[in-house]
Structure 1
């Protein structure tokens, strides 16, 4: 019995040695054939070598598993922080631009038309991000950093020369938006190659750059305008982008290309009922989300609820509150499930926006801005977590996230211009009741839809993690 127990491994080992010997001989023969081909056909061999993919090797990282710490790994977090600072941080600043443009200092346009600038900017970021994923997977990481950084800086320089709405749409909407989309995906995608056990912490620290950008850039803009004027204020913001973008270009390094390049489009997504349901629900919620982001600052100034100074500071207050809304709910969702967190978040966001119907003091507006920032952070941070949870085939998660955000961009495109159009439908162009009804009812409708989705996925029992 004992002898028989060891016979199989020994025989198996002998067969493995024979197989390895055969493979080694075959590999040597192939190597000799390759050398002969290169000697006899140098032009074809050079062309074939040029066609081989460049960049980090696919599969596992050359230096072993992710380090989960150390100087090089935390430098990637610093670089990603700067990328978030100059992507979503810039987009979160648009509320102050909406207020300033509406004053007529640069050009004359309706609130609805002005909001197209911010809507196009956000949509360009989301759509570009969906296309950038496969480019990143092919190893063109540094090209994305340099190209995206150039477009964001160039867009600011061109914006400083603008004197009409269409020029601002091209410079701030398309140019800055596309550049930000090229930077956003690398900021997230680089993290899993350096962290596994500390991944949540690393991404959370990096993502805080978006809120910090939404605090610093509006204050810079407001303080610089009276000192140097709009053109130089925007140029100084552009130089700030340039200085902070040089950090990731200098310190960030791609360790490894993904073993499989993600697809741009997953047709099976449209047959996945819960996933599509979730995407459409988030799109409806995004309509209300961007009504608040674009118009809370302008609401304070145009109604006289706040003075000019405080109206500009409402945007930093909103983004400071969103720091908690973008981090703590993700941690809670690990405990009780993302649907159980985003559903009350959407409900409370809608209620807060409706509360603006009764706001007539600066203190009341500051309170609604703060709580909107807090609960809107939930709606910004959790959709990608939901997409991961609702996608059974994890091999297509990256594609599903890109598709989801591309569709949700339609909500961004609808929210700002629709609210601006409603605002104009009154004798004095102050139909704020209609604006806040649109902004509040869309998240409430999303909350109801999330409840129904939760029932379909995990039932209606209150203590189920979904």
Structure 2
């Protein structure tokens, strides 16, 4: 105990000069004065969790229904464009929402969550309102893939970081509740659009979704607050690049990149794959809500379990489980039952991967830099989100409609991600059996 105390005191004395390299001791014993008294609950903490879950509902949950727009634009406003050209709209929407975290994280560390939530509310809602009026390719691109996505990013990242300031021992469970909001959004938004577009038209469907987003973000603005005051630092490019000099952070970022690279293949192509094997369009359209509904379980139970047995331990198991599902179940699947079972199980596996990523970033980051470092890790994974689906689409086209090599690409990528999660854990505590 004396050794742990001396390490902590020395860390506090050095914190005004530079952030120390994290060792096993500093991971187990927090290295910030703010980390000694996490409430682990209370009214403000759980209201923050509720507000953060609403933010995930309207950001990642909204992005989860991008496939609806791909099909609609291809047969309506943008029917003169190729499917590949239209695909850049949802791809860039995902990219900008995730990649913007590199800058959103820095703003959060300097100013806290309030300015980001207010600005994000405006840009997200305004972008969707403009998309409801858009008629041309560039109008849709600017409104939905850029303006709305940037706004979504401004509410997406502060959610994880703000909740991290209230919880340590229960951080996994709290993060799971937050990320479950994205699963719920991924169920509700597609069903809303499927039923609203034929009833009230595309324009009013977008406006109704935008009004729902506005109401939820008003709730988030009223409830989310950080326990830790912001620490403003001069902007330095090296501050964004410095985490990548740490082998552990670099390994974690690479693991997330490869896992997300493979994970977006089923998310993008599961409906098209099902249709190619004879599933009806009506049933195939509900595969996305089935996947996202199952991910509610995947983003809550494994996170709560991770608090007991270790976040890296659970992430390794769930990422390996996801890779096996893709290669051993989805690859040979041809009938409706097998494809539906895969959608549900993949939702659990991939949901755990998404839900645990922020907790892993927080685990190897000093508290005052969680925003910047989480944003940096996610910004690299944005490149995976941007390129994974086009690579999969090219493999499908080259094989004349066969999904075989696209599925193999997705499964192998997730398997590489699993191995890199193992390497990250080894760099922290070696190969010994421990809660990590």
Report the TM-score range of the alignment, normalised by the length of the smaller protein.
0.7 to 0.9
2:91 alignment partner in structure 1: 119
1:369 alignment partner in structure 2: 343
1:280 aligned onto 2:254: yes
1:248 aligned onto 2:209: no
Q: CA RMSD in A?
A: 3.0
CA distance in 2 between counterparts of 1:112 and 1:437 reads 21
CA distance in 1 between counterparts of 2:94 and 2:175 reads 21
CA distance in 1 between counterparts of 2:105 and 2:42 reads 25
Contact 1:277 1:453 in 2 (8 A): yes
1:419 alignment partner in structure 2: 392
CA distance in 1 between counterparts of 2:171 and 2:322 reads 28
Identify if the C-alpha distance between structure 1 residues 180 and 272 changes in structure 2 by more than 3 Å, giving closer, same or farther.
same
CA distance in 2 between counterparts of 1:316 and 1:96 reads 11
Specify the SS of the correspondent of 2:293. Answer: helix
Contact 1:69 1:195 in 2 (8 A): no
Aligned equivalent of 1:298, options 272, 275, 278: 272
Q: Superposed, which structure 2 residues align to 1:348-363 within 5 Å?
A: 348-354=321-327, 355-363=329-337
From the CA coordinates, give the structure whose radius of gyration is larger.
1
1:107 aligned onto 2:68: no
Specify the SS of the correspondent of 2:133. Answer: coil
CA distance in 1 between counterparts of 2:253 and 2:408 reads 22
What runs of 5+ residues in structure 1 fail to find an aligned partner? 1-58
Contact 2:100 2:375 in 1 (8 A): no
Aligned equivalent of 1:228, options 180, 200, 212: 200
1:409 aligned onto 2:378: no
CA distance in 2 between counterparts of 1:350 and 1:196 reads 29
How much has 1:283 moved relative to structure 2?
A: 0.6
Contact 1:68 1:196 in 2 (8 A): no
2:419 alignment partner in structure 1: 448
How much has 1:453 moved relative to structure 2?
A: 4.2
How much has 1:107 moved relative to structure 2?
A: 2.0
Aligned equivalent of 2:61, options 82, 89, 111: 89
2:281 alignment partner in structure 1: 308
Aligned equivalent of 2:406, options 417, 435, 439: 435
Contact 1:82 1:245 in 2 (8 A): yes
Contact 1:95 1:298 in 2 (8 A): no
CA distance in 2 between counterparts of 1:352 and 1:401 reads 28
Cα deviation 1:152-181 (Å, max 9, x = unaligned): 112222222334444333222111210011
Give the number of aligned pairs. Answer: 398
Specify the SS of the correspondent of 2:300. Answer: helix
How much has 1:390 moved relative to structure 2?
A: 4.1
Cα deviation 1:104-163 (Å, max 9, x = unaligned): 233234444333222222221223223223433444644322321121112222222334
Identify if the C-alpha distance between structure 1 residues 279 and 370 changes in structure 2 by more than 3 Å, giving closer, same or farther.
same
Contact 2:121 2:214 in 1 (8 A): yes
What runs of 5+ residues in structure 2 fail to find an aligned partner? 1-32
Identify if the C-alpha distance between structure 1 residues 241 and 258 changes in structure 2 by more than 3 Å, giving closer, same or farther.
same
Identify if the C-alpha distance between structure 1 residues 251 and 337 changes in structure 2 by more than 3 Å, giving closer, same or farther.
closer
Aligned equivalent of 1:387, options 361, 384, 390: 361
Specify the SS of the correspondent of 1:258. Answer: coil
1:131 alignment partner in structure 2: 103
CA distance in 2 between counterparts of 1:196 and 1:450 reads 21
CA distance in 2 between counterparts of 1:203 and 1:261 reads 27
CA distance in 2 between counterparts of 1:452 and 1:140 reads 33
Structure 2 length-normalised TM: 0.81
How much has 1:275 moved relative to structure 2?
A: 1.8
